[in-house]
Amino acid sequence: MFGKICPYCREKIKKNAVVCRYCHRDLKAEKSDDCSSLWIFAGFTGLALGAAAVLGLGYLNERKRWKEHDSACDFEKDATDQAG
Ligand SMILES: [Zn+2]
């Protein structure tokens, strides 16, 4: 495990080599970086979705309470109208 195979010339080279010592071609960043950034993106998307779900549920609960509050206010108004 002290090296990898150059994809161009199939020679054994060092694992973290940036340029192949045999054919001198660029070997930097073979998808592994893309993969990690993809995972970070997935993590952020998951967090955003979770936050949106929590906010949505909270909003629905609040709306239910507002509706109850509104009907209570209407009832009070009717009562005062009748009294006055
Ligand atoms: Zn090579």
For the chain, 84 residues long, give each residue's pLDDT as a single digit of tens.
678 999 999 999 998 899 999 999 998 765 555 667 788 889 999 999 999 999 999 999 888 888 887 766 566 666 666 655
- Note down the domain range covering 65: 31-84
Please provide residue 12's backbone torsions phi and psi, each rounded to the nearest 5 degrees: -80, 125
Question: Are residues 2 and 35 located together in one domain of the fold?
Answer: no
Question: Are residues 44 and 9 located together in one domain of the fold?
Answer: no
What's the CA-to-centroid distance between 21 and ligand 1, angstroms?
7
* Number of domains forming the structure of the chain: 2
Question: Are residues 53 and 76 located together in one domain of the fold?
Answer: yes
Q: For residues 20 and 6, is the Cβ–Cβ distance under 8 A?
A: yes
Predicted structure pTM score: 0.36
Question: Are residues 23 and 56 located together in one domain of the fold?
Answer: no
What's the CA-to-centroid distance between 15 and ligand 1, angstroms?
12
pLDDT computed for residue 68 by the predictor: 81
What's the CA-to-centroid distance between 68 and ligand 1, angstroms?
74
Give the three-class secondary structure for 30. Answer: coil
Question: Are residues 12 and 53 located together in one domain of the fold?
Answer: no
Question: Are residues 49 and 17 located together in one domain of the fold?
Answer: no
Give the three-class secondary structure for 5. Answer: strand
What's the CA-to-centroid distance between 23 and ligand 1, angstroms?
4
Q: What is the CA radius of gyration of the chain?
A: 32
What's the CA-to-centroid distance between 13 and ligand 1, angstroms?
8
Q: For residues 30 and 20, is the Cβ–Cβ distance under 8 A?
A: no
